[in-house]
Structure 1
């Protein structure tokens, strides 16, 4: 068996209308049980790359290249077959929790539809499993949460619901697309801790997309740096932070260090830099 659960080869994403290439020949691997961080500024192609893996980009975008999940080439699957892959084998946790749920239905409806489609469980079993999972990610009163509409829950709570669902689904790969961007600092910290525990509990491999280098340094084993749709650098997290090779990566790391230093200075802390 390959040591990689996911292999992306020469991925290209093209805007069919303008002919502009948005992602250029990206090649990378995700090892079993590891966490791959993808970093870069807005518009660098991070989210397009993640959605391409699940074949969720808009119809106007054309993609080519190989994407292999285990022994399966995803490009060769029909849309119906891909629907069976999504959620069960590849679970996406998106930036804005509101977009993950139908605003006209309570949260529990989405959970039941998803779990019934993939596992065929009864309503009672779904409630039991989701209640235990939601409690494990520190969601109070899970039944009340399941009976709530998305707009009645905070962003942090919606992220926890998606993490709880992933715990129950136990997918091979979890793709988290900037899941902390819309959260306040405390919620960000709590959600990151839940991701750490999620990975430890079910052994899923994780792709974590973010512009926050601090998060990447905390949870990622490997890092990909993207700029203008191109992977400019990739390697072990420690090497990327300690010895960045590309000018853009050095800029990201030094900017992070400067911000960290400034924060310590205004808070009256120590003067050395530790980004």
Structure 2
């Protein structure tokens, strides 16, 4: 049985009547990583927010979302809040948006962990310190006492990954987590996501437009265009035997970019992604 099943998901804007996702169905296997790729506006992030039931006002959805056989679409908001964090952990594109700018980082983490586990301040500090050290954050106690704007984007992403390590969720949803980072920070954060899967044994949905990152981290790839799923296959098949023209376009664009980069850097163009 897959850990997550999304069936006939429809998302629309109740104010304008515009349908954003007409009818999506897919599954996430236990302990696997499913990447969702596509251009901006293809419905990747909307799909993730639908799973979390975190849409903005005016955005409606129908369909079934089964987590370990339980239909999240039928839960009250109170019960859904219990699922967020402990069962479904979402790591956003911008670490700055994930934290209250008026509070130090530690306050947010404490509130989250008290809500789910009821731990004492000392327990939370000990567990977060250990987790933050494991994702290579130096001086974790000092970091806990800093405001979000005092930390870099890469550090904020690492803090969120450390929180996921402590929460040990069934599914981690990462929505373009490397987009706002420089190349070195991107590489380091992706490595931390790989270790997160290994250490927690969680399943993962990884949203990205960076096919290089997708090829490194994903077991399967789901391709979206204009709100619809146009192709889904294992990662190797997507990169070598894609069936849909749009998928082949995305892969060829990635190859062309790699070739151009290698040429600029004085290297030999390669056909590898």
Q: TM-score, normalised by structure 1?
A: 0.98
1:101–1:271 Cα change, 3 Å: closer
Residue equivalent to 1:182: 180
Report Cα offsets for 1:33-65 as digits up to 9, x if no partner. 000000011100000000000100112011011
CA RMSD of aligned residues (A): 0.7
Kept after mapping to 1: 8 A contact 2:8/2:24: yes
Q: TM-score, normalised by structure 2?
A: 0.99
Given the alignment, which residue of 127, 134, 137 partners 1:136? 134
Kept after mapping to 2: 8 A contact 1:261/1:274: no
User: Structure 2 stretches of 5 or more lacking a match?
Assistant: none
SS of 1:270's partner is coil
Tell me the CA shift for residue 272 of structure 1: 3.3
Quick check: 1:236 aligned with 2:234? yes
Residue equivalent to 1:96: 94
SS of 1:33's partner is coil
Q: In 2, Cα distance between the equivalents of 1:272 and 1:104? A: 48
SS of 1:9's partner is strand
Report Cα offsets for 1:117-171 as digits up to 9, x if no partner. 0000000000000000000000000000000000000000000000000000000
SS of 2:272's partner is coil
Tell me the CA shift for residue 273 of structure 1: 1.5
Tell me the CA shift for residue 205 of structure 1: 0.2
Quick check: 1:255 aligned with 2:272? no
Given the alignment, which residue of 83, 91, 94 partners 1:85? 83
Tell me the CA shift for residue 262 of structure 1: 1.1
Quick check: 1:268 aligned with 2:266? yes
SS of 2:10's partner is strand
Residue equivalent to 1:29: 27
Residue equivalent to 2:243: 245
SS of 2:22's partner is strand
Residue equivalent to 1:145: 143
Report Cα offsets for 1:190-220 as digits up to 9, x if no partner. 0000000000011000000000001110010
Q: In 1, Cα distance between the equivalents of 2:31 and 2:16? A: 39
Count of matched residue positions in the alignment of Structure 1 and Structure 2: 273
Kept after mapping to 1: 8 A contact 2:258/2:270: no
SS of 1:36's partner is strand
Q: In 1, Cα distance between the equivalents of 2:115 and 2:147? A: 21
Residue equivalent to 2:194: 196
SS of 1:25's partner is strand
Q: In 2, Cα distance between the equivalents of 1:249 and 1:84? A: 37
Q: In 2, Cα distance between the equivalents of 1:272 and 1:162? A: 35
Residue equivalent to 1:40: 38
SS of 1:8's partner is strand
Residue equivalent to 2:219: 221
